[in-house]
Structure 1
Amino acid sequence: MSDQVAVVTGAGSGVGRAVARELAAGGWRLVLAGRRPEPLEETAGLAGGEALAVPTDVTDPVAVEALFRAAVDRFGRVDLLFNNAGAFGPPTPVEDLGYEEWRAVVDLNLTGAFLCAQAAFRRMKEQRPQGGRIINNGSISAHVPRPQSIAYTASKHAVTGLTRSLGLDGRPYRIACGQIDIGNAATDMTAAMSAGVRQADGRIAPEPTMDVADVARTVRHMAELPLEANIPFTTVMATAMPYLGRG
């Protein structure tokens, strides 16, 4: 994959950093996006190889356009977007969730994913050879909710619709789209799970986690399929986490 170019959002930590390092190990050239310059540069250093760090607010259309323009200016094309940037937001009862809190989660998880997908789609459609792949980071919450997570859950359900529409609309242009739904990967975002998180019955209980490297390897497998093949949806989760019995 030494001539392939991947844009990874939310690349400064967690799943994004792990995926960037895994892709770099496979020879991908990387464009790393995130809000904070220092963690992006750290990821670039850890990944090695050819990596361009572009501080980006994915909720800002102008910033997203600049990100993809920088990718093409540096590497000539975009073969993969890993649409990863997202946030859970504080657990909040429905009746207490403020409008700005709702908007912050939905704007990042859904609108940001759309803006990046749209910008990638445009490049993939116009470049030669034509085509590319978009992989959206969904969540177990794209299937079933956690308590007090209405904004996150709604946004991740909507990402599933985004994935399906992109997959359909991309067919004429060799643009494949898939989604990885992740459950309890061990990152800073899930650190509280070992201490205990709210369950469907109201209890606070610890939950098992899995190595984030297992997520990264799955994304790389999806990314390196030929464009004639696609994994539209896959779920990778800690084996013993409450998912099948979450409700």
Structure 2
Amino acid sequence: MENAVSVKNLTVKFDKMPVLNQLSLELKKGEIVGLIGPSGAGKSTFINALLGMVKPDIGEIKIFGKEIPNRQIMAKIGFMAQSDALFTELTGRQNLEFFGSLQGISKKDLAEKMIKSAQIVNLTADLDKRISGYSGGMKRRLSLAIALTADAPLILLDEPTVGIDPELRRDIWDELREQAAKGKAILVTTHVMDEAERCNQVLLLRDGKFVAQGTPVELKTQYDATSIEEVFIKAGQELERSKNMGVDK
């Protein structure tokens, strides 16, 4: 499969301290990669670097063969941020229309795609309500609908299921698998370990480094674990032991 994203030796520093340290990743078309890690590990910074919002100090990022930042490539990315960036004085429908137009979607196609994405996140009945009246969970669902409406070949989702009930979370993952089956590449950051089990590949980011990387089965075998949550715990313990011994893993 062709690479949608290629990251080589990515290092990002804030105040001369590395927040991301020599990260490399290949995300292929038709693949879902889950990025997990504790708060402050650098997951959102990594997503922002892929979007060209954070400049690497070292390393290279290419999306569909083009080096980032690249304005034309942005039209090929469906993005959901960790914090909802919505116009609260507008309705859900108006937000979808606005962000869809930024992606260059025609009015005819946009109407159809809006309906589908709203159904996926169970917001159809609330589209004509102002965002100011939405709950936190509804705002997350609308942000996800905006990312899916773009119908882009690369989808970057930063904590997409926070505040969403388990039944709808299952439906969203069914849709993500369907999108991947169509050849789209998807990168998801999450704190929910059972969601990581649903990914083709899992990356564990701690202290700015990928300390574990592979399929869920490979990682559970490597760490003699029965779940990705157990892998997360054991990998963290191993990292702390190596730090205490003065070993830079």
Same fold flag (TM > 0.5)? no
Which of the two has higher C-alpha Rg?
2
Q: TM-score, normalised by structure 1?
A: 0.30
Q: TM-score, normalised by structure 2?
A: 0.30
